[in-house]
Amino acid sequence: MTDKAPDAFRTIGEVSKALSIQPHVLRYWEEQFPMLRPVKRAGGRRLYRPEDVELLAVIDRLVHREGFTLRGAKKWLQSRDKMELAPEPVAPAPTGDPQLVADLIALRAQLARALA
C-alpha cells in the first residue's frame, strides 16, 4: 500500500487508491455493512484499521468478482461471523465402516477450511 507500517491506520484516500474503490463507495459501504466501522477523528475524518481494509477487500471481492448483491454479501459476512463465534460442536464417537468414517472426517475438515 504505502511506506506505513502494516498495522498503521490508513486514510480513506489511501484505502481508495490501494483497493481501486472510489471514496464515496467506501462511505456508502459503511452504511450498508454494520461490521465496518473505521475510526472517525475530529471533523469526521476516517481512519481505517488493517482489519477494516481486509474487510473492504472481502466486500469488494464478493460484490465485484463473485456477483453478490450488497444484501447477499452482508448476510454472508454475518453468517461467517456467527460461525467463527459458535463453539465447535462435539460429535459423538463414530461407529460403522472405518473407511466411511475417515472419509466423512476428511470431508468435514475440507468443508471447514472452505468456509473459513
Side-chain half-sphere CA neighbours of 6 within 13 A: 1
Half-sphere exposure of 55 (CA within 13 A, CB side): 22
Which ranges of the chain does DSSP label H, i.e. alpha helix? 12-19, 23-32, 50-60, 70-85, 98-115
C-beta separation of 73 from 66 below 8 A: no
Residues of the chain with pLDDT under 70: 1-2, 81-97, 116
| CB-based contacts of 66, cutoff 8 Å, min separation 6 | none
Tell me, what's the pLDDT at 85? 47
| Report field, pTM of the whole predicted structure over 0.85 | no
pLDDT at 7: 85
pLDDT of residue 109: 79
Distances (CA, A) of 13 to 20, 27, 40, 80, 102: 10, 11, 14, 28, 51
